[in-house]
Amino acid sequence: MVTTEAQKYLVCSSGEGNITSFNLTSRRLHIQSEEYEHELTCMATIKNETKLLVGSSNGILYLFNWGEFGYHSDEFPGMKQAISCMVPVTENVVVCSGEDGVLRGLHFFPQRHLGVVGQHQFAVESLDISYDGEFIASCSHDQVIRFWNIKYFEEVAVDGRKKAKKKRNES
């Protein structure tokens, strides 16, 4: 579940493949999204709480405009495996992880893969960020809590004029 500082809407993701938002001031259902083929597993707000980022079980991240939860406005093929958790680091940088145990840094606006933050042996269950934004704590099925220094993400500069490099398949 996610809400913003204004606390007008409460948004919930579902294993049925949709998100549902409730208007907290009127205490009524606001809108339910179109149904997606895959489970929607985790959510976070980015871009000064104007965008809702939703992770899915097929590794795609969906972007919704805040308040407009009917259908996504953009998508980002984040990972090949299911995304089970994410945490926003800055207004444009998110760290997410899932079944493969790898924590990945992603940049939005423009969309870029920043690289690997860390790795667990098994699937990551939960992520959280420290009060000062310097560390991320991650826990996994291997019963280990690890801390990752992410302070360097504050200075990340992504050139939006350059196209992202595509990986070549070498056979």
Tokens 């269950």 found at: 125
Mean pLDDT of the residues in the chain: 89
Identify the band that residue 155 occupies on the pLDDT scale cut at 50, 70 and 90.
confident
In CATH, the architecture of 1-77 is Beta Barrel (2.40)
Tokens 């993701």 found at: 13
Rounded Cα distance between 69 and 9, Å, is 11
Phi, psi (degrees; rounded to nearest 5) at 108: -115, 145
DSSP code of residue 68? B
pLDDT digit string (tens) for 34-48?
999 999 999 999 999
Is residue 71's pLDDT more than 80? yes
Domain locations in the chain? 1-77, 79-157
Sheet holding 28-32, edge to edge: 2-3, 9-13, 19-23, 28-32
* Pick from 12-16, 60-64, 165-169: least confident: 165-169
Rounded Cα distance between 85 and 56, Å, is 10
Rounded Cα distance between 98 and 141, Å, is 11
DSSP lists the bridge partners of residue 3 as: 10
**Which residues, in sequence order, are CB contacts of 136 under 8 Å at separation 6+?**
87, 89, 95, 103, 117, 127, 128, 129, 130, 147, 148, 150
